[in-house]
Amino acid sequence: MRPYTALTIAGSDSGGGAGIQADIKTMEEWQVYGMSVLTSLTAQNTMGVREVHHVPVPFLTAQLKSIEEDLPVDAIKTGMISSKEAARTVGEWIGARRKPYVCDPVMVTASGHPLMEEETREALSEYLFPHADVVTPNIPEAETLLGMSIKTEADMEEAAGLFVEKLGSRGALIKGGHLEGEAVDVLYDGEIMRTYREARIKTDNTHGTGCTYASAIAANLARGRTLPAAVEKSKHFITEAIRHSFDLGSGSGPTNHWAGRIGEIK
């Protein structure tokens, strides 16, 4: 019996806390075999991004072809996609596969470094969102993509609806990490609006939370779970990863991908 599999199409993080490094660590925790297609290389650490090199689109295409000709894909997750041409290439490939797909519209790092060209924002809704079972923006990303202000839970619900009705995704998860109070996320699957709540963990060590959360959802979808169930399990997973995050480096430390196994390894 083969393992469950998931493919991440995203940028790398030399510091190991975000990007494909975080994605594959997360998939492993859900006993899902992770594969990767690199879109960009970053020279970064917990203090920020020093330099970015975007993979040429022909090589991006070569990576996708190398996966499809040999390996099964049960679910797909995308992260950092920097150009319109890359978005088109990836979107066309995903559209032909019809696999569960989680789109994390990564735009800016936690330290404020832009990871996406301006024209790519429109390309997301044109080439990627229509294929996505769920788009997972945080509040600043949702505000940018929708051109609205999000200050309340009601605003989050409105934003989730607009991603489906206006931008074309099948579902949207608006992450409320930038608001005060409980850590509340809102999921709209095109039919039902659901709310997920966890205690807010007070820490500066949140590097890679978005990548980790989206990858956990993709891994759960790969295992055959419904989207609401995948989000529920992943919400708890990322909360524990933040709760047991690491004081590594001099900036925003990474989350703990093996938080669920603390005490198991001696």
Both tokens assigned to 252: 């925003």
Count the Cβ atoms, other than its own, within 10 Å of residue 152. 11
Catalytic center residues: 175, 206, 208-211
Q: What is the pLDDT of residue 114?
A: 58
- Looking at the DSSP bridge assignments, the partners of residue 51 are 43
The pLDDT tens digits for 74-85 are 999 999 998 999
Whole-model pTM: value is: 0.95
Domain ranges (residues) in the chain: 4-256
Tell me the Cα Rg of the chain.
17
- 186 vs 263, more confident: 186
DSSP 124: I
C-alpha span between 194 and 202 (Å, rounded): 25
Per-residue model confidence (pLDDT) at position 266: 45
Tell me what the pLDDT averaged over the chain comes to: 93
Q: For 150-207, what is each residue's pLDDT tens digit?
A: 999 999 999 999 999 999 999 999 999 778 788 999 999 999 999 999 989 999 999 9
Q: Does CATH place domain 4-256 in 3.90.1150.10?
A: no
